[in-house]
A and B are shown apart, each in its own frame.
Chain A
Amino acid sequence: DAKTTQPNSMESNEEEPVHLPCNHSTISGTDYIHWYRQLPSQGPEYVIHGLTSNVNNRMASLAIAEDRKSSTLILHRATLRDAAVYYCILSSQGAQKLVFGQGTRLTINP
Chain B
Amino acid sequence: NAGVTQTPKFQVLKTGQSMTLQCAQDMNHNSMYWYRQDPGMGLRLIYYSASEGTTDKGEVPNGYNVSRLNKREFSLRLESAAPSQTSVYFCASSEAGLANYGYTFGSGTRLTVV
Contacts and interface: CB of A to CB of B under 8 A. Distances in A.
Contacts of A36: 103
A87 B100 contact: no
Contacts of B45: 97-99
Given A43-B106, A87-B42, A95 B35 contact: no
B100 A91 contact: yes
B48 A97 contact: yes
Given A96-B56, A101-B42, A103-B42, A45 B99 contact: no
A101 B31 CA distance: 21
A100 B100 contact: no
A36 B77 CA distance: 27
Nearest to A102: B42
A45 B90 CA distance: 12
Contacts of A44: 43, 90, 92, 103, 105
Interface of B: 4, 31, 33, 35, 41-45, 48, 50, 56, 58-59, 90, 92, 97-100, 102-108
